[in-house]
Amino acid sequence: MTNTKHNLTSCLLRLVVAGGGVLLFSSQAAFASEASGVTNAAAPGGLLEAALFYFVALVAVVSSLGVCFSKDIVRMAVWLFGALGSVAVMYFLLAANFLGAIQLIVYAGGTLILLVFGVMLTSKSPWVKFECPKIEMLFAGIICAALLGCLCIVLTDATWAGTMQVVPGASVEAIGKILITKYLVPFEVAGVLLMIVMVGAAHLARQDD
Amino acid sequence: MRILLWKLWMGYRIFGPIIELLMAMFRPFAVAMYRMGGPIVAQMAGMILISAVVAVCVGVWAHAMLFGFVDESILATAASAGVELTGAFSYVSPATWGLTPSQIAVQLQQVGGVAANMSGVAQYLLWPVQFGIVRDLVGLGALMGLFNIIPVYTIWWERKVAGRIQSRLGPMRVGGWHGWSQSPADGIKLLLKEDLIPDGADAPLFRLAPYFNIIPSALAFVALPFGATYVFRELDVALIFILGVLGVEVLGVMLAGWASNNKWSVYGAMREACQMVSYEIPLGMALLLPVVTTGTLNLTKIVDAQSGGWFHWLVFSSPFAFIGFIAFFVASLASCKRAPFDLPEAESELVAGFLTEYSGIRWSFFFFAEYAAMFVVCGLAAILFLGGWHSPLPASWGAALGDAWYARGVKGLLFSGPVWFVAKCVFLLYVQIWIRWTLPRIRIDQVLYACVQVLLPLTMLMLLGTTVWVWASTSECETWAMVTAITRYVLGGIGLMFAFAFPAIAAYGFYHRRAMVGNLVQDAMPGS
């Protein structure tokens, strides 16, 4: 029973990642087309940046689809790296350097490694295949299609700000100051949540004593 | 073995005749070159090596001078004279392509001297240099050259040090002057070796894994500054960018181990994962000490905060930073999988760990990545704790020299310049190699004990201590200012003692180098 549940959640997760990739692609495409249409010299994006953006967006979408359609869990992790890494590159393209570096450390360098590590520790056969029943695929597909539809509606209904300038004050110092003044409570709550996760994991790991 | 037929077909039917033709044309030429050049290389190997190093240094210096000249004397003066400069500094702009050659010639006439006389040719030669994309291509070429040269010569350096420490005679037998050409020869051999993929391996992942290793370590050089202006991209988050890309490197090792479908490889990959996931935490904590002290993640600014000579280096700023530096160095050894933490590839237990199934160019990719990552962590240690590109000499002596062109040259050589950064990196690399050939490998449980129960609490305490120290330093209290000054000079004095003791001990060893290793140890022991 737990196995099925796990499968369903994973399916959902995979489709959400794919939907997110498509969403990212379309939203960023809208942003980039707005930005590159401006001819003044202070436009944030040049021709090369636009080309790089489209390339990275393509990588994001293709690797998100790869996560969905791959059967091997380790290969899924590699596809996921493609998606996460290209999102990090997008952050760098948008001059959000801090976010890009954190994306690399937390997702690409941390989460993915733990994922592969978990597979290596728990797998009983050399190639762990991931199969889920057709009916689950159907349910997950319906839910994700609905989600994607909602996101697309939001995307088309939103009014986009047009040309964005790089905010001069948005440096690491500013982010740090905001995190420990204005957003102190959410920051601490997130920390406590991670602490709870650690305690819970330790408890689960030691329950056979 | 999996031999892909289409590859053979492509190789033999399409490229084969072309390669044969080229080889038939060049074979006599190559043999003649070898016969002529071989004796010269054998005779003057050391001279050739030294002149190549000097040529590289001069090339780097000349391109920096050229870019500086174009920026200051042409673009800046043209901008102040009212010439429209749209797009000159950015990649591609639809409006204009920067200065035209004739506009450059006008600026060169204003500079006068040789530049004015040469302006007929120089206007066309300097025209491309004004574009960011041209400069980036030059910079990328330099980075890739560096990324290739550093591992090759670190491996040579490693062989030499191993030879000294363990009385290995190899480097003196083949390869010219102290075996300098062994590493390039290794490179050519690895390029030509067959690239084997085991039948049971997950072929796409097996092929992909080396790139997950080599690309991040090459990316780290993008943000690593070699001098105040010698940096490809000065990122405001350079420190965590380097930490992030080096973290991705682990994924390559794990994929290599997993995709090889070999128990030794999987063991190696598991050990790597255990080790890296745990050592990244003390490493990150130790990296936070300079960040807390200087208040920035920008490596150039961190180095700027340490200008002024030996006693201003961050490692001597507080006792916490002093211990934190040692903790950082130990954690960086583990993060580069260097001995005594080289468990992922432990040759005596795991054949070659995650590398067991690799051969040829893919195998060498892992080693390029490892040695480049060694250089990067040594560079981080030099930048964060050891003053980066500032020399130990007091900066006030340099300021007394004035601002003439020769004074700038002397300052660049003696007071602050990339040469000091590279020297510090080479010294730290030497320490890493020294440790590798001196200490035995420790067990995996000892590795994890050392991390979780020793290094992690230690670095946490050091972080707390540094925070309190920095907070106390913001107060205007005079007693505290005295305390920090005394600490600085006491720690700096300890550092100076090490700095003088090191060459003295090395000189003692060199003087007794003919003695057997055992005798040297026995003679130096107390009571002998």
Closest C-alpha to B334, from B441, B260, B184, B434: B441
Q: What is the pLDDT of residue A11?
A: 47
SS3 state at A129: strand
Residue A149: C-alpha distances to residues A23, A87, A180 (Å): 10, 22, 37
Q: What is the CATH number of domain A2-168?
A: 1.20.120.1200
Least confident of B97-111, B374-388, B500-514: B97-111
Q: What is the ipTM of this complex?
A: 0.75
Helices B319-335 and B478-511, interaxial angle, to 10°? 50
The reply to whether B276 touches chain A by the CB within 8 Å rule is yes
**CA A129 – CA A70 distance, rounded (Å):** 9
The Cα–Cα gap between A143 and A140 comes to: 5
| Average pLDDT of the residues in B221-250 | 85
Phi, psi of B287 (to 5 degrees): -65, -25
What pLDDT was estimated at residue A189?
92
**Contact call for A172 and B237, based on CB within 8 A:** yes
Amino acid at B345: E
- Please give the residue of chain B at the shortest CA–CA distance from A75: B205
pLDDT of residue B88: 43
- Mean pLDDT, residues B413-429: 85
> What is the predicted pLDDT for the residue at A27?
44
pLDDT at residue B357 is higher than 50: yes
Contact A41 B87 (CB under 8 A): yes
Q: Calculate what percentage of chain B has a pLDDT beyond 90.
A: 6
CA distance A86 to chain B (A): 13
Do the Cβ atoms of A113 and B250 come within 8 Å?
Answer: yes
The predicted structure's pLDDT at residue B412: 74
**CA atoms within 13 Å, Cβ hemisphere of A138:** 3
Whole-number average pLDDT of chain B: 80
pLDDT at B376: 92
Name the least confident of A156-160, B310-314, B386-390, B420-424.
Answer: A156-160
CA atoms within 13 A on the CB side of B300: 15
Q: Provide DSSP, B344-396.
A: GG-HHHHTTGGGTT--HHHHHHHHHHHHHHHHHHHHHHHHHTS-TTB-SS-HH
- Name which of A75-89, B73-87, B202-216 the model is least confident about: B73-87
Distance (Å, whole) CA B310 – CA B62: 29
Residue B112 corresponds to which amino acid? G
Q: In Å, what is the CA distance from B303 to each residue of B211, B306, B355? A: 31, 5, 37
* Nearest CA distance, B403 vs chain A (angstrom): 34
CA dist B220 and B228 (Å) reads 17
Which one of A103, A105, A124, A125 makes the best mutation probe of the B interface by having the most chain B beta carbons within 10 Å? A105
Which span out of B34-43, B189-198, B292-301 was modeled with the highest average pLDDT?
B292-301
Reported as half-sphere exposure (CB side, CA atoms, 13 A), residue A154 has a value of 9
**Domain residue ranges of chain B, discontinuous segments joined by +:** 1-38, 46-130, 138-167+190-474, 476-528
Burial track A170-184 (b if 16+ CB lie within 10 A, e otherwise): bbbeeeeeeeeeeee
Enumerate residue ranges in chain A where pLDDT < 50. 1-9, 11-12, 15, 22-44
Q: Which residues does chain A have within 8 Å of residue B270's beta carbon, measured at their own beta carbons?
A: 117, 120-121
Q: pLDDT band at B525, cuts 50/70/90? A: low
Average pLDDT for residues B320-325, to the nearest whole number?
90
The pLDDT value given to residue B380: 92
Using the structure block, give the residue that is written with the tokens 């794990």. Answer: B254
Roughly how many angstroms between the first and final C-alpha of chain B, as a whole number?
59
**Which residue reads 């031999």 in tokens?**
B3
Q: Give the C-alpha separation, B218 to B338, whole Å.
A: 19
Report the alpha-carbon distance of residue A101 to residue A89 in Å, rounded.
9
CB-based contacts of A208, cutoff 8 Å, min separation 6? none
Q: For residue A129, which phi and psi values (nearest 5 degrees)?
A: -100, 150
Are residues B60 and B141 in contact, defined by beta-carbon separation less than 8 angstroms? no
Percent of chain A at pLDDT exceeding 70: 68
Q: Do B205 and A78 touch (CB under 8 A)?
A: yes
B262-318, pLDDT tens digit by residue?
888 888 888 888 888 888 888 888 998 999 888 888 888 888 888 878 888 888 888
pLDDT over 90 (residue B464): yes
Amino acid at B218: A
* Integer-rounded Cα radius of gyration of chain B: 26
Predicted pLDDT at A163: 60
Residue B95 with chain A: CB contacts under 8 Å: 39, 41
Greatest pairwise CA separation for chain A in angstroms: 69
Query: Is the CB of B205 inside 8 Å of chain A's CB atoms?
Result: yes
Q: Which of A41, A75, A172 sits opposite B297 (nearest CB)?
A: A172
Task: State how far Cα B462 lies from the chain centre.
Answer: 27
**What residues of B are in contact with residue A82 (Cβ under 8 Å)?**
none
Distances (CA, A) of A78 to A24, A68, A69, B209, B353: 19, 12, 13, 10, 21
| Residue B516 dihedral angles phi and psi, to the nearest 5° | -65, 150
Can you give the pLDDT at residue A31?
41
Distance CA A135, CA A132 (A): 8
Cβ distance of A78 and B270 shorter than 8 Å: no
Highest mean pLDDT among A10-24, A165-179, B103-117, B156-170: B156-170
Is it the case that residue B140 has pLDDT exceeding 70? Answer: yes
List b or e across A116-127, with b for residues whose CB sees 16 or more CB atoms inside 10 angstroms.
Answer: bbebbeeeeeee
